[in-house]
Amino acid sequence: MYTVGRTAQLTGVPRETLRKWEQRYGVVSPVRTEGNYRLYDDESVRRLSVMRHLVDSGWSPKEAARRVLEAPAAAPAPEVDGAPAPLDELARCAEKFDLARVEQVLDEAFSRSDLDVVVDEWLMPSLVRLGEAWQRGQVTVAGEHFISAAVHRRLAHAFQELPTAAPEAPRVAVGLARGSRHELGVLSFATALRSHGIGVTYIGSDLPLEAWVDMVRSLDPAAVVIGVPTVEDLPAVREVVTALTRRRSLVLVGGAHQDRIEGAEPLGHAPGAAARSLATRLAGKD
């Protein structure tokens, strides 16, 4: 049994968030000591760890809680019809550090014409499965990093291979705020957005506030998109949003914690669909 402080350390879920998930979604039910202290068992730690990974991967807390409560971690979820490979394939590659297979799987996936569908119905769910496998101990930290690096390389290649947008096309700046390094979500969005003919300036990760302001002043984009993948990213993203909205810039946010950012428009939790929607919206303004 673990105290609330130790549980927060083991799962990476801050105490305040842990209490909210417990009270709002019923993900765990700790026992109480005679002194009214809460204690969590191994199953509670597992559930909280899986939920945090789902949320950090782009799921809303409500949907993540439902997934954790409805299915045990080891239970296979149904595959998506028409997916280029089984959703567990990246996790299997991570177990064996199978570089040849993971590159084959990614090449086959990204050869499909509809990048939005690949991102939303195969890539993001596959990364969630990878995280669940890590939580169960089937995949090591090195294995997860191995797959993340391969996916990053393939997304960067796909981004680079897309045609350059027309000079008159709307321009959108996409990136992460200071200290934020979980890049796969925003890079997936940026790649999907560029596939719709939008001029995407991809900034990448860990961009300080002053650099965001200078970039927007220089580029004057039609919109700015910032990822909020983890709880720890909230303060820095809020700083950037406050600074940019003062300039009357259109600021949108994506990622697990987008709904906790005031002053910016949430994009939703499906990068491909969000990219398609924003492209349509910007094209309509021209």
List the domains of the chain with CATH numbers: 2-70 (1.10.1660.10), 89-161 (1.10.1240), 171-285 (3.40.50.280)
What does the H/E/C string look like for 131-191? HHHHHCCCCCHHHHHHHHHHHHHHHHHHHHHCCCCCCCCCEEEEEEECCCCCCHHHHHHHH
Counting as low any pLDDT under 50, the low residues of the chain are: 72-83, 286
Contacts of 135-139 with C-beta under 8 Å, sequence gap 24+, read 135/46, 135/49, 135/50, 135/53, 135/73, 136/73, 136/74, 138/91, 138/95, 139/91, 139/94, 139/95
Whole-number pLDDT of residue 80: 40
> Phi-psi bin for 243: left (phi > 0), alpha (psi -120 to 50), beta?
alpha
Whole-number pLDDT of residue 123: 93
Helices (H) and strands (E) in the chain, counts: 13, 8
Whole-number pLDDT of residue 82: 45
35-82: pLDDT as tens digits: 778 888 877 887 887 788 778 766 788 888 888 887 544 434 434 444
CB 184, CB 255: distance < 8 Å: no
Whole-number pLDDT of residue 76: 40
Whole-number pLDDT of residue 64: 82
From residue 51, alpha-carbon distances to 24, 27, 28, 192 in Å are: 14, 9, 11, 26
Whole-number pLDDT of residue 74: 41
Q: Which amino acid belongs to residue 117? A: V
Whole-number pLDDT of residue 62: 86
Q: Which are the contacts of 46, defined by CB distance < 8 A and separation ≥ 6?
A: 73, 135
Whole-number pLDDT of residue 285: 58
Whole-number pLDDT of residue 189: 96
Whole-number pLDDT of residue 238: 96
Whole-number pLDDT of residue 275: 95
How far apart are the C-alpha atoms of 57 and 131, rounded to whole Å?
A: 9
Phi, psi of 169, deg, nearest 5 = -70, 150
pTM metric for this prediction: 0.72
Whole-number pLDDT of residue 143: 93
